[in-house]
Amino acid sequence: MPDNGNSIEKRRGMLDQFETGCESGPIEDCAEREHRLHQLRPGEKKLAYESARLADLCRYFSQRKMDIPPDILDRMGRVSRKGPLERIRELADINQALIEYLHQTESVPQLRQ
């Protein structure tokens, strides 16, 4: 089916909501994030909390220019294929694995060059 350009523009418009400062965009202010989390229904709140926690951990890794272990990256790639309850559990497990990995790597002294 030919694309007359309308569907591309429609998709761009849908993605605008994820820009900084928009309704579904990233929230830098912790107080604002907590406020929005408390407005969600319980199931949505747990998913949003674990997702935000993962985003914070990914930001931490990025700022320190650290690679996320490949096995954890694979798990992260499969999360979206799971149902809501499984997704919450898997995100919590991934977050825990990342924290444990950080503890292991930060407790090992760096070798001098």
| 105 in Cβ contact with 66 (< 8 Å) | yes
- Whole-angstrom distance, CA of residue 110 vs CA of residue 96: 23
21: left (phi over 0), alpha (psi -120 to 50) or beta: left
pLDDT at 13: 59
pLDDT tens, position by position, 23-45: 555 556 667 767 777 788 877 88
Render 12-64 in DSSP notation, one character per residue: HHHHGGGSTTSTTS----HHHHHHHHHTS-HHHHHHHHHHHHHHHHHHHHHHT
50 C-beta neighbours (distance < 10 Å), count = 20
- Whole-angstrom distance, CA of residue 41 vs CA of residue 20: 23
Percent of the chain clearing pLDDT 90 (strictly above): 46
- Whole-angstrom distance, CA of residue 4 vs CA of residue 33: 39
- Domain spans in the chain, listed from the N-terminal domain onward: 1-39, 42-113
pLDDT at 113: 45
pLDDT tens, position by position, 66-85: 999 999 999 999 999 999 89
